[in-house]
Amino acid sequence: KWPERVKVKEVGPRDGLQNESRFIPTENKIKWIDQLSLAGFDYIEVTSFVSSKWIPQLADAPELAKGIARFPGVTYAALVPNQRGLEQAIESGIDEIAVFMSASETHNRKNINKSIADTFPVLSMVTREALSAGKTIRGYISTVFGCPYEGKVEIDHVIRVADKLFEMGIYELSLGDTIGVANPRQVESMLEVLLKRYPAERLALHYHDTRGAALANILVSMQMGITRFDSSVGGLGGCPYAPGASGNVAAEDMVYCLREMGIETGIDFDKLLTAARYIQEKLGRTLPSRNLQACPS
Ligand code: HMG
Ligand code: MG
Query: What's the ipTM?
Result: 0.98
Nearest ligand to the CA of 239 is: 1
Residues in contact with 115: Cβ distance below 8 Å, sequence separation at least 6, in sequence order:
105, 108, 109
Outline where DSSP puts E strands in the chain: 7-10, 43-48, 75-79, 96-102, 136-142, 172-177, 203-207, 228-231
Residue pLDDT, tens place only, 229-283: 999 999 998 777 878 788 999 999 999 999 999 999 999 999 999 999 999 999 9
Position 41 pLDDT exceeds 80: yes
Dihedral of CA 219/240/271/296: which sign? negative
Dihedral of CA 266/43/246/25: which sign? positive
Residue 83 to residues 11, 113, 123, 136, Cα–Cα distance (Å) = 22, 15, 8, 15
CA dist., res. 121 & res. 224, Å (int): 33
DSSP for 17-42, please give it: TTT-SSPPPHHHHHHHHHHHHHHT-S
CA dist., res. 216 & res. 183, Å (int): 8
Tell which atom from ligand 1 comes closest to the C-alpha of 174.
Answer: 54
Cα angle 274-277-283, degrees, rounded to a multiple of 5 = 145
In short, whether 241's Cβ falls inside 6 Å of ligand 1 is yes
Secondary structure (3-state) at 126: helix
214: number of CA atoms within 13 Å, CB side? 33
Residue type at position 114: K
To test the pocket of ligand 1, the residue of 11, 50, 51, 138 to mutate (highest count of ligand atoms within 8 Å of its CB) is 51
Position 115 pLDDT exceeds 80: yes
Residue pLDDT, tens place only, 157-214: 999 999 999 999 999 999 999 999 999 999 999 999 999 999 999 999 999 999 999 9
In short, whether 123's Cβ falls inside 6 Å of ligand 1 is no
Q: Please tell me the predicted confidence (pLDDT) of residue 242.
A: 78
CA dist., res. 175 & res. 145, Å (int): 9
More confident residue, 285 or 86: 86
pTM of the shown model: 0.97
Q: Please tell me the predicted confidence (pLDDT) of residue 245.
A: 81
